[in-house]
Chain A
Amino acid sequence: MKPTDPAITWLEEKPLGLAERLYLPLFLQGLTTTARHMVSPKVTVNFPEQRPTLGNPLIYRGVHRLNRDEDGRVKCVACFLCATACPAHCIDIVATESPWPDREKYPESFAIDELRCIFCGMCEEACPVDAIELTSLLDLTGKSREEMIFDKEKLLSVYDMTKDSEPMKSASPEHSVAESVGGSL
């Protein structure tokens, strides 16, 4: 595109005022802003010792967990909706016939590659039975790639670890995610 192209809209800059032309008043203004920030409270924390305060842990997208139902069984019905929705293709499910009468299938194995996961939360959105959820655990580390592939037991243990601090989002309708989010927004 040439500079003479009529399709270009040339914007006119706002004319400078007197203070801007004299420069030093705005110089002082800028310096005051900088100096104020230098002494203002810091927003970062000393991480491993201090934990950051999350705005709303219930909508934070951290490590996944697989929820259990009242009988302690995995809630997942192996419908593959999460694996289909996943943009990073990090969910691998092997379905088999369910031993229980209330569903047809259940996951024989359920593995999430946490290194491939982009923590977008699409699996949580897709799940029809609210079996997969993202917790507020944010410092996920491991010493090998294999260790970072979370299998069903590990995902269930994440649930056991976090169920008290973060109740299942579908557990009680009066304490739904929508309300807790609506309150804080």
Chain B
Amino acid sequence: MTSLLPSLTVLAALVKIGLLVGGLMTAAAYLVLLERWIAAWVQDRRGPNRVGIPLTKIRLFGLGQPLADGLKIILKEDFTPSHVDKVLYTAAPLLILATSLAIFAAIPFGSVLPPLNIPGLPDPVPFLVAPGLDVGVLWVFALSSIAVYGVLLGGWASNNKYGFLGGLRSSAQLVAYEIPLGLGLLGVVLAAGSLKLDVIMNAQAQSGIWYAFSQPLGFLVFVVASFAEAARLPFDLPEAEQELVGGYHTEYSGIRLLLFLVSEFLHMITAAFLIVIMFLGGWHLWGVTGSGQEVTWLGALVRFAVLNTKILGVIVFFMLVRWSWPRFRFDQLMNLAWKVMLPLGIANLVVVATVEEFRPQLLAVLGPWAQAAAIAAPWAVFFIGWIGAGLLTPSRTDNRPILTRGSLEGDQGLLERDSYRPQQRPASPELMETR
């Protein structure tokens, strides 16, 4: 009889899944409102402030807006155009939503609960759906790569040029930025010695030094790459509503569009979670949360609050950035990924690996100053890498067609452009025709 009942561990996991999915969906709905508020405030407007409790006159600063938005989009006609590939068209939003939700199985959303002393349930209970998963980070990255398929399939199955362009851009962009993302992450994994996100958080809490401070270059690379992975401005080329209508979800409407939009917000939440957990200390805050594994109920609550406040802060930063920058051009996007972020990520990895390798020797030689040296070295590399990347950047960009600036001269031509006059070097007409 008892063997038929699910074990307490499974029950605890189910409760956590319920809380997490409910919380995430609510968060996504309210982040839409936050996004609209911030958009309005940045543009000196007031933003949605009318909708409150339905059927009453109570306005609550517009906090009822997500309900109205959600109802509106759910009740809209779910139209399937005749020219789409029906199977893939239906599968794409489901795939993207399922993967972006499944990512959270390995992401801790707090520290641990105090001992409950329930027989059959191992104490302490962590705020994590799959606490035994040793490859947490790999799980997160594998699933966020699968989420790309949703975008690709959506663009491809729509059978629409804007959708297709959006999907193409998305694939190239996400492939390019996976690499700096992974490099930024590797430094953290190397320093913490684990692929489990809760262990990475605990390592920062114990030393008191968040990885953003000890690996500034990795932090920079990771943040930039996660903007690109979440397809937020200034890297929102897959959607680019001004040029691609809606990008990969041009042909979607109704609840299927809602699935795409929700999973976009989930990607942003994932990115914020990863930034906070891996670089900003997770639930740790000096002098407030403590750093050990033993917590009281209040301590667990405080840690939960600290983690989520940090995540909210990162999300607000994401939203502010949206209104601060114009979108990158596609070649600029690729230049940034391959010529700037990739070398910087490797530089960070090398310096972190060196510091970690020679930490015992540092301790022996420098004694109490070893910790300072272990932080100073990455900062030195940060400034060298940053200023070096800046100085190596060409001081102007040239987006004239290749033919007019003299073909096939490559970068040499780009650098010597100051002496260039279009009238003196007209391209040959034969070349024009063969192109």
In the bound complex, how far is the Cα of B395 from the Cα of A44, in angstroms?
41
A contacts with B: majority SS: loop
Residues of A within 8 A of B401 (CB): 3
Q: Let me know if A18 is at the binding interface, CB within 8 A.
A: yes
Decide: A37 and B400 in contact? CB cutoff 8 A.
Answer: no
- Over the window 319-340 of chain B, the binary record of Cβ atoms lying under 8 Å from chain A Cβ atoms (1 yes, 0 no) is 0110111000000000000000
User: Does B395 contact A37, Cβ atoms closer than 8 Å?
Assistant: no
A22 lies within 8 A of B387 (CB): yes
Contact with A along B372-404 (1 / 0, CB 8 A): 000000000000001100110101111011011
A20 to chain B, nearest CB (A): 9
- Check B393 against A21 for contact (C-beta < 8 Å): yes
Contact B45 A30 (CB under 8 A): no
Chain A residue nearest to B405 (CB atoms) is: A10
Task: Using known A-B contacts A13-B397, A33-B324, A34-B323, determine if residue A46 contacts B41 with beta carbons closer than 8 Å.
Answer: no
Residue of chain A at shortest CB distance from B404: A3
Query: Could you say which of B38, B46, B49, B390 contacts A38, with CB atoms under 8 Å apart?
Result: B38
The answer for the CA separation of A53 and B131 in the assembled complex, in Å, is: 60
Measured between beta carbons, the chain A residues less than 8 angstroms from B393 are 16, 21
Pair A16/B395 contact, Cβ less than 8 Å: yes
* Among B386, B395, B398, B404, contact of A4 (Cβ-Cβ < 8 Å): B404
Residues on A with C-beta less than 8 A from B38 are: 38
* Cβ < 8 Å to A, chain B residues 26-79: 38, 41-46, 49
- Give the distance to chain A from B373, nearest Cβ to Cβ, in Å: 25
A163 to B393, CA, bound (A): 66
Given known A15-B396, A22-B387, A31-B324, contact A38–B432 (CB-CB < 8 A): no
Per the bound structure, the CA–CA distance linking A4 and B402 in Å amounts to: 10
A35's partner among B320, B395, B422 (CB-CB below 8 A) is B320
Taking the closest CB of chain A, its distance from the CB of B336, in whole angstroms, is 10
Q: Given A4-B432, A31-B324, A34-B320 in contact, is the A21-B395 Cβ separation under 8 Å? A: yes
The docked-state distance in angstroms from the alpha carbon of A41 to that of B45 is 9
Which residues does chain B contribute within 8 Å of A43, judged by CB atoms?
44-45
- Is A22 touching B41 in the complex (CB atoms < 8 A)? no
A146 nearest CB across to chain B (Å): 31
The answer to whether the Cβ of B117 comes within 8 Å of any Cβ in the partner chain is no
| Interface contact B320-A38, CB-CB below 8 Å | yes
Asked whether A6 lies within 8 Å of B320 as measured between CB atoms, the reply is no
The residue from B44, B390, B395 contacting A42, defined by CB atoms under 8 A apart? B44
Given contacts A3-B403, A43-B45, contact A16 B396 (CB under 8 A): yes
The one of A6, A22, A46 in contact with B390, judged by C-beta atoms closer than 8 angstroms, is: A22
Residue B427 CB within 8 A of the other chain: yes
**Number of chain A residues close to chain B: CB under 8 A:** 31
Q: Does A8 contact B (CB under 8 A)?
A: yes
User: Is B23 interfacial (CB-CB < 8 Å)?
Assistant: no
The reply to whether A8 and B422 form a contact with Cβ atoms under 8 Å apart is yes
B207 interface hit (Cβ, 8 Å): no
By a CB distance below 8 angstroms, the chain B residues around A44 are 44-46
Q: How many A-B residue pairs have CB under 8 A?
A: 73
Q: Is B49 touching A46 in the complex (CB atoms < 8 A)?
A: yes
Does B423 sit at the interface, judged by CB under 8 A? yes
Interface assignment of B122: CB less than 8 Å from any CB of chain A: no
CB distance from B392 to the nearest CB of A (A): 9
Once bound together, how far apart are the Cα atoms of A23 and B95, in whole Å?
37
Shortest beta-carbon distance from A24 to chain B in Å: 7
Distance in angstroms between the alpha carbons of A4 and B431 in the assembled complex: 12
Whether A14 and B44, one on each chain, are in contact in the complex, defined by CB atoms closer than 8 angstroms, is no
Please state if B323 and A23 are interface contacts (CB–CB under 8 Å): no
| Cβ-based interface call for B426 (8 A) | yes
* Also in contact, A37 and B44, with CB within 8 A (given A6-B423, A30-B324): yes
A164 interface hit (Cβ, 8 Å): no
Chain B residue nearest to A18 in the complex (CB): B390
The interface residues of chain B lying within 8 Å CB-to-CB of A3 are 400-401, 403-404
Instruction: Kindly identify, within residues 132 to 181 of chain A, every residue whose CB is under 8 Å from any CB belonging to chain B.
Output: none
Q: Write out the residue numbers on chain A whose beta carbons fall within 8 Å of the beta carbon of B320.
A: 31, 34-35, 38
Cα A42 to Cα B404 in complex, Å, equals: 48
A70 located at the interface, meaning its Cβ lies under 8 Å from any Cβ of chain B in the complex: no
1/0 contact string of B84-111 vs chain A (CB within 8 Å): 0000000000000000000000000000
Q: How far is the CA of A12 from the CA of B417 in the complex (A)?
A: 10
Contacts of A51 in B (CB 8 A): none
| Minimum C-beta distance from B192 to chain A (A) | 27
The answer to whether A38 and B41 touch across the interface, beta carbons within 8 angstroms, is: yes
- Chain B residue at minimal CB-CB distance from A41: B44
Q: Specify which chain A residues have a CB less than 8 angstroms from the CB of B396 in the assembled complex.
A: 12-16
Residues of B within 8 A of A184 (CB): none
Q: Mark B339-351, 1 if CB is under 8 A from A, else 0.
A: 0000000000000
Contact A4 B325 (CB under 8 A): no
Contacts A2-B432, A18-B390 given: A10-B395 contact, CB under 8 Å? no
A37 and B43 in contact (CB under 8 A), knowing A4-B426, A13-B396, A15-B396? yes
In addition to A16-B395, A37-B44, 4 A-B residue pairs with Cβ atoms within 8 Å of each other are A13-B397, A16-B393, A24-B386, A38-B38
7 of the cross-chain contacts (CB-CB < 8 Å) are: A4-B422, A4-B426, A10-B422, A15-B395, A33-B324, A42-B45, A46-B46
The 8 closest A-B pairs by CB, nearest first: A22-B390, A15-B395, A30-B324, A21-B390, A3-B401, A34-B324, A38-B41, A13-B396
